[in-house]
Structure 1
Amino acid sequence: MAAKDNKLGFVVTGLLLAILMSAMDNTIVATSMGTIVADLGGFDKFVWVTSAYLVTVMAGTPIFGKLSDMYGRKRFFIFGLIVFLFGSILCGTANTITQLSIYRAIQGVGGGALMPIAFTIVFDIFPPEKRGKMTGLFGAVFGTSSLFGPLLGAYISEYVGWHWVFFINVPIGIFSFSLIFFFYKESLQHKSQKIDWWGAFTLVGAVICLMFALELGGNQYAWDSIVIIGLFSLFTAFFIIFLFVETKASEPIISFQMFKSRLFATSNAIGFFYGATFIIATIYIPIFVQGVFGGTATNSGLILTPMMLGSVFGSQSGGLMTTRTSYRNIMILSGVFFVTGIFLLSTLSPDTSRLIVTIFMIITGFGVGFSFSTLSMSAIHNFDMRKRGAATSSITFFRSLGMTLGITIYGIIQRNLFANKLSNEFAGIENGNQFGSSRELLSPESRKEIPAPVLEKITNALSSSIAQTFMWALIPALLAVVFIFLMSKERIHIPAEKANS
């Protein structure tokens, strides 16, 4: 029995390390983005470093979830680890922002397997009375990685070189691989199913066409140009075909049958809107710190710490509360803090003190932290082992979809707001805004060369554009709250003898 418990401990450690690595990678990259842009350029394209990763995560998540239901969790978890590490090594060798975006897409293929399969394995190996505690632990590690990711990313970017924010994944990934490979012995309660490749292809095609249409429209091409109209037309065609294919597929990639569960449907909707909102805070707060406060990468890493620390407490609290009250009640508490935090972020300005920013971060992080543990459990609540992979991957998929569309749409909003503010600030001043779209604003050394009056106007424009972007982000945050109130009132029920043992 002791040997079995030891093996279980090694498996949990391996899963926790994989979650630590994949989650920390996102926050490291977000914190390092200012430094990366300062080195590689491409301020107008930096959102693609994140969105390219999210698109492939989104594409891989439901496929790997289905494959793990069919053929076992272990082989696809290990495959995801290998691809993620390979992509990380490629990212560390990138010389342009375009190369980095492509390599991040490769990394995302592996990332699409790690998170959903890790949570599914937890549900496979632990009984109901322990799942809340374990899911809370996993969510806390997710939050902890978000805490140390910014600090580690800031330190590496400033003192070692931003390329190493990707290479750091290699030793962590190898250790995780070893633990899972040697100690995880899964049951073989799986059945052969068909993979809905047409569904996967048409859904990802629809999302990519929509992203390119939104990103390029009004920027590189006019909204009424053939290219943009063609992209919107392809999006519509792909999406219609996807809906048709899913109604005919014997094993659809997104099962409409599963959405008959009210708890499952609302959990996915909440995950979508939370993802669309929280990604904005993760991306734009470091840009605000470096571009407005004039901080270094270390400053922006430290400024994110309160938000991530808040998410750790929120995630752990949410996991523990699942055995005491309904998922709905937990998420109502989450929504109150999350919406309040996003609203407060919309008031940011160059005059905002570091203490006030810290308070805003804690409130936002605490609110979103509940969702890391609670939504994963609520989505899977009504399904048995044969559907758990699909259910877990579904919530991860919709959260990734929300993040993908969120960073694309709000990236456009912030960029246009910034450009308009610059035009107003420098109206009538020849060459006044020459620094506004370049890397100088994010480099502490280069910004010293910008004349003080010009720098003030640029930072005012950047601050205003980010604050207004957060104001627009209240829309998906409030929509999430609507779906929280639509959740059914299920909760984990633990037999009395187990609850007291």
Structure 2
Amino acid sequence: MLAGPQVKVETETRPQFTPKQVRRILAALMLGMLTSMVSTSVVATALPTIVGTLGGQEHLAWVASAALLTMTASMPVWGKLSDLYGRKRMFQVAILLFTTASLAAGFAQDMGQLVVARAVQGIGVGGLQVLPQVVLGDVVEPRERGRYSGYIGAVFGVSTVAGPLIGGFVVDHLSWHWCFWVSVPLALVAFGVIQYVLRLPPARRQAKIDWWGAAFITGAATSVMMLLSLGGSAFPWHSWWTYGLAALTVAMLVGAVLVERRASEPILPPRLFRNRTFVLASAASLLVGMALFGSLMFLPQFLQIVHGMSPTQSGLMTLPLVGGMFGASLTTGRLVTRTGRWKVFPLFGMLTVAIGLFLLSTMQVHTPLVVVGGCMAVLGVGLGASMQTLVLAAQNAARREDMAVSTTGVAFFRALGGSIGVAAFGAILSSRLAVELASLSKAAHLPLGEGEGISLGSPEAIRLLPPPVIEVVLESFTRAVHTAFLVGVPVVVLGAFAVMALKELPLRSAKAK
């Protein structure tokens, strides 16, 4: 009864594709993935303009968080739906959902409409982020999948930083509406290419849709994401909102466990959590997600506040990080395909991320930009060598029928880790900044209280302060960033231990059959 009505659905078997066909499919998948991921970060640069036009300052946090909430919560559901109704169909549904919501966001007349459109957009983004990796698992065996996974990892890195750059350009030269509309043509092109090149033969079978499992899992993910994203900003950590969301998360998790153990077609099969590789790869992905999104939040702030850069300039300065991710993803993928070995790469990547975070924690007010860029490149290399290889490891260890849910599960935990990283590292930064401002202003005999220091906000406002006060603010912010990056080091080292505990299973290969 919990599983819902029985329906006939279409699933897909693995056909044989030529290298040329695989490249075409990959290009379409990457295009859809690129447009969706850019959309999640492009809005950050435009937020001040949007609030100035539409008003509704009290909804500002929801504009940024709504898409992230629904994206993360929907990931496991997309994987299961693609098992039941087909990869191609669900990918195209995600594109249409994303496109419709993007158009609605651009036409929004008030902040309430924009928040709703962003929430729907996030559901589509969730599908467009995880389904390309699932489709890739259908058309290429794990041994040959390495180099193609490298391309997807490179797209992930490029789109993460390209969003703020595009947002700055669009706001300066067009209008904030185009931050949402700019992705629509590319998404429609991806829809058409997938329709033309992705031909997976259907096979009919009986299946049951696990509606209750989807509801409990989505509810648990949404409540914990709301707690982590809005706690400390929209409401205090010590409040009934915090305790209520925590209790709701626990209740939803308990309900999910009970339902998934009884469902015949569970969204997240309990047997996955008896798979050592899936559990460890998910844990490592959660930890590397914390490092990725936490660091990307601090770097533009550091460059704008300490080095006086504009948003566009600070975005350009993160290109060494993008270059490191791009090069490491491509190189790692090719080496995995060539050697059949994969464990060494996420281990190397995790340790390199730890080194990169430590190097970034040594940045000073007068550190040359070339040195800052070098530190970011080290971080990018580590991230590029880690992320996609962990997805590949989980796919390789899963049974064929669990490949989709394994893929979406690892992606889900990485996104969840990103939310935890943004919330936790942001809280550390704010706390240390308050302490350092109070301490340094007192030592310099300046009338700069803790509350006043916290309100100094924008880089433009800081530049208007008297020179002695500017020096105190810049040094305080630099020290606070040091602490945040240093906290990230043991987090990533813990992820390296999780990778060390992985058993290196031989990659399946079509040639070996």
- Residue 398 of structure 1 deviates from its aligned partner by 1.1
Preserved contact between residue 269 and residue 480 of structure 1 (Cα < 8 Å) = yes
TM-score under structure 1 normalisation?
0.86
Match of 1:87 in 2: 101
When the two structures are aligned, how many residues end up with a matched partner? 493
Displacement, 1:43?
10
**Residue 334 of structure 2 is aligned with which of 316, 320, 336?**
320
**1:91 CA displacement:** 4.1
The equivalent residue for 1:330 is 345
Give the whole-Å Cα distance in 1 for the aligned partners of 2:56 and 2:463: 20
Cα gap change, 1:85/1:210 in structure 2, threshold over 3 Å: closer, same or farther?
same
Q: Is the 8 A contact 1:54 1:403 kept in 2?
A: no
The aligned counterpart of 2:258 is: 244
Q: Bigger shift: 293-302 or 154-163?
A: 154-163
| 2:428 match | 413
* Residue 294 in structure 1 maps to residue 308 in structure 2: yes
> Structure 1, residues 180-231: CA drift from partner, whole Å, max 9, x if none?
1233222214644333333333333334434444566666666554443333
Alpha-carbon distance between aligned partners in 2 of 1:216 and 1:287, rounded to the nearest angstrom? 20
- 2:482 aligns with one of 448, 457, 467: 467
Q: Hey, what does 2:198 align to over in structure 1?
A: 184
390, 401, 404: which one pairs with 1:375? 390
Contact kept? 1:154, 1:300, Cα under 8 Å: no
Q: Which residue of 170, 182, 201 maps to 2:184? A: 170
Displacement of 1:104 after TM fit? 3.1
Q: Output the amino acid matched with 1:230.
A: G
Higher mean alpha-carbon deviation, 220-229 vs 80-89, is at 220-229
Which consecutive unaligned segments of at least 5 residues does structure 2 have?
1-16
Decide which of 412, 417, 421 is 1:402's aligned counterpart: 417
Question: Which residue pairs with 1:193 in the alignment?
Answer: 207
Q: 1:378 to 1:31 in 2, by over 3 A?
A: farther
Which piece of structure 1 moves more, 12-21 or 182-191?
A: 182-191
Query: C-alpha separation between the residues in 2 aligned to 1:430 and 1:147?
Result: 35
Could you tell which deviates more after superposition, 462-471 or 167-176? 462-471
Matched, 1:123 2:137: yes
Deviation at 1:62, TM superposition (A): 0.8
Report the counterpart of residue 147 of structure 2 in structure 1.
Answer: 133
- What is the match of residue 358 of structure 1? 373
C-alpha distance after superposition, 1:151-204 (max 9, x if no partner): 434433444455433322112111111111233222214644333333333333
Tell me, what secondary structure is at the counterpart of 1:351? coil
Question: What whole-Å deviation, never above 9, does each CA across 1:331-370 have from its counterpart, x for those lacking one?
Answer: 1111121111112222233222211110111011110112
Query: Which residue matches 2:281?
Result: 267
Which residue number in structure 1 is paired with residue 80 of structure 2? 66
AA in 2 matched with 1:276:
M
Deviates more, 1:192-201 or 1:285-294: 192-201
Supply the distance in 1 between the matched residues of 2:397 and 2:267 (Cα, whole angstroms): 18
Letter in 2 for 1:140: A
Give, in whole Å, the separation in 1 of the partners of 2:49 and 2:348.
Answer: 36
Contact map agreement 1:276 1:407 (CA 8 A) in 2 = yes
Partners in 2 of 1:179 and 1:481 — Cα distance? 39
- The residue type equivalent to 2:363 in the other structure is L
- Amino acid paired to 1:397: F
Residue 23 of structure 1, aligned match among 23, 34, 37: 37
Q: Classify 1:284/1:4 alpha carbon distance in 2 versus 1 (closer, same or farther; 3 Å).
A: same
Cα deviation, 1:257-303, whole Å, max 9, x if unaligned, reads 12333222211111111112211112221122122222112211111
Uncovered stretches (5+) of structure 1, i.e. residues with no partner: none
AA matched with 2:265: E
> Whole-Å Cα distance in 1 between the matches of residues 483 and 429 of structure 2?
8
Deviation larger for 328-337 or 99-108: 99-108
Separation (CA, whole Å) in 1 of partners of 2:204 and 2:474 = 56
Provide the C-alpha distance between the structure 2 equivalents of 1:386 and 1:161, rounded to a whole number of angstroms: 46
Deviation, structure 1 residue 328:
1.4
Deviates most, 136-145 or 92-101: 92-101
Structure-1 separation of matches of 2:418 and 2:506:
27
C-alpha separation between the residues in 1 aligned to 2:220 and 2:451? Answer: 37
Q: Secondary structure at the match of 1:193?
A: strand
In structure 2, do the counterparts of structure 1 residues 232 and 251 end up closer, same or farther at CA, with 3 Å as the change threshold? same
Of residues 137-146 and 109-118 in structure 1, the stretch that sits farther from structure 2 once superposed is 137-146
1:461 corresponds to which letter in structure 2?
S
Q: CA deviation at 1:382?
A: 2.9
Instruction: For residue 26 of structure 1, report the CA deviation from its aligned partner.
Output: 4.1
Report percent identity of matched pairs. Answer: 30
3-state SS in 2 of match to 1:322: helix
Distance 1:249 1:219 in 2: 38
- Asked whether the 8 Å contact 1:44–1:437 carries over to 2, the reply is no
Q: Is the Cα contact below 8 Å between 1:133 and 1:320 reproduced in 2?
A: yes
Structure 2 partner of 1:311: 325
Q: What is the identity, as a one-letter code, of the residue corresponding to 2:447?
A: I
Q: 2: distance between equivalents of 1:347 and 1:101?
A: 38
Task: Return the alpha-carbon distance in structure 2 between the equivalents of residues 187 and 260 of structure 1.
Answer: 31
The Cα offsets for residues 76-125 of structure 1, whole Å up to 9 and x where unpaired, read as 11111122223333444568887755543322100111122111212222
Q: Does 1:437 align with 2:440?
A: no
Letter in 2 for 1:254: L
**Aligned position for 2:359:** 344
